[in-house]
Amino acid sequence: MTHPPRELVLSEGGRIAVLIVDGLGGLPLPGGGSELEQAEIPNLDALARRSSAGRLQLLPTGLTPGSGPGHLSLFGYDPMTLEFGRGLLEALGSDYPLSGGEVAARGNFCTLAPDGSITDRRAGRPPSEECVRLCELLAREVSLEGASLELLPGMEHRFTAVIGGAGLGARVNDNDPQIEGKEPLPFRGADDISSVTAELANSFFEQARAVLRGEERANGILLRGFSTRPALDPFIERFKLRAAGVAVYPMYRGAARLVGMDIIEPGVDLGEQLAAVERAMPDYDYFFIHTKPADAAGHSGDFDSKIAALEEVDRHIPTLEGLGFDVIAITGDHSTPCIRKEHSWHPVPLLIHSRYAIPVPEVTFDERGVLRGDLGVVRGPELMALLLAHADRLAKYGA
């Protein structure tokens, strides 16, 4: 069991804030420190020295978390027992409910060379209004035989494709080879009903390529994370917390909505997110706050930009502390080291601040600094039990 027995969970207790710095963890450059170690983060370091600290292992050792499994783990669900793709979270985050009979996939506009190989998996990160135009263009020009197609614009190069129809499965491979210089992969289904979805996805890809042929950068599409909607135990029933998600990007709002959290209008940056949290505090016991820039810099391999993003988070820590939460947890959904330009399997730094913390004066909030803390390595799905305990929301087990 990854979560405490429901009979031990109390409906009253302290308020909890969980700040997720997407892609938080990193790796040292040769002869130097990691992004966190080189960043000037005095507020995070000071808070870590007044908190319990350690590392969070989102998935079993050695497995690299995707963003969806990473967040489900943070929310107290075992992602190894759930089967869904990123498309579901993107759809939910775009306020699309995704009903039975529909399959969603996360989409990227990309740049294809004349020979069909990918030269830019993100099409130069076009402005979001350009993404809206491209989705509207495809929606007018593309049709799928015997199925419906809904396109939901996201931010920059991202969109969500929702295919609806009878007898569709979601066990379809990604066509994104995850590397530039290669051609997109053909879609294939792992079973009969998923093969129907794969045929529709292949048709969508070919039609989109024809429609986008005249575009300078966004002349192709990549789809990944095909998914239907699984049945999940609601967060409020499992943990007896009135919960709210405050995230700018649709995918992370979708992760919160999947477990039944309310979604708070976030604004555009962490400062506005914290202002939204302050306004909503009387109505909720638990806030999930997500910030993206550090992860984006990690994927770009931009060491200096990731340092700057971490330093920007640090600037807002006094505001977070000043909101008066009984428990503050700060961690990540995965590591995104700049030297990899991709997620990694490394545990992420974790701090939990409450009156029950066991501070260690030598701790700093980075990969090696938190090794001095009292928490050791915490399994991701067990984090919620720790937070409930720190918030006086768990009864004693046994006599």
Q: What is the pLDDT of residues 5-18, one digit of tens each?
A: 889 999 999 999 99
Q: Which residues, 6 or more positions from 85, have their beta carbon under 8 angstroms from its beta carbon?
A: 68, 104, 105, 106, 170, 224, 225, 226, 227
DSSP three-state, residue 101: coil
pLDDT for residue 2: 67
DSSP three-state, residue 164: strand
Q: Which residue has the higher pLDDT, 307 or 101?
A: 307
CA distance to 15, 64, 157, per residue, from 350 (Å): 18, 17, 31
Q: What is the pLDDT of residues 31-85, one digit of tens each?
A: 889 999 999 999 999 999 999 999 999 999 999 999 889 999 999 999 898 777 7
SS3 content of the chain, % helix, strand, coil (to 5): 35, 20, 45
316: alpha, beta or left? (left if phi > 0; alpha if psi -120 to 50): alpha
- Could you give the percent of the chain with pLDDT greater than 70? 99
- Check whether 94 has a pLDDT greater than 90: no
Q: What is the pLDDT of residues 243-254, one digit of tens each?
A: 999 999 888 998
Q: What is the pLDDT of residues 293-323, one digit of tens each?
A: 999 999 999 999 999 999 999 999 999 999 9
Token readout for 20 is 């997720």
pLDDT for residue 89: 81
pLDDT for residue 304: 96
Q: Which domains does the chain have, with CATH numbers?
A: 6-81+232-390 (3.40.720.10), 89-227 (no CATH)
Q: What is the mean pLDDT of the chain?
A: 94
106 beta partners: 160, 224
301-318: burial string, b at 16+ Cβ within 10 Å, e else = ebbebbbebbbbbbebbe
328 beta partners: 17, 353
Instruction: Give the model's confidence band at 203: pLDDT under 50 very low, under 70 low, under 90 confident, else very high.
Output: very high
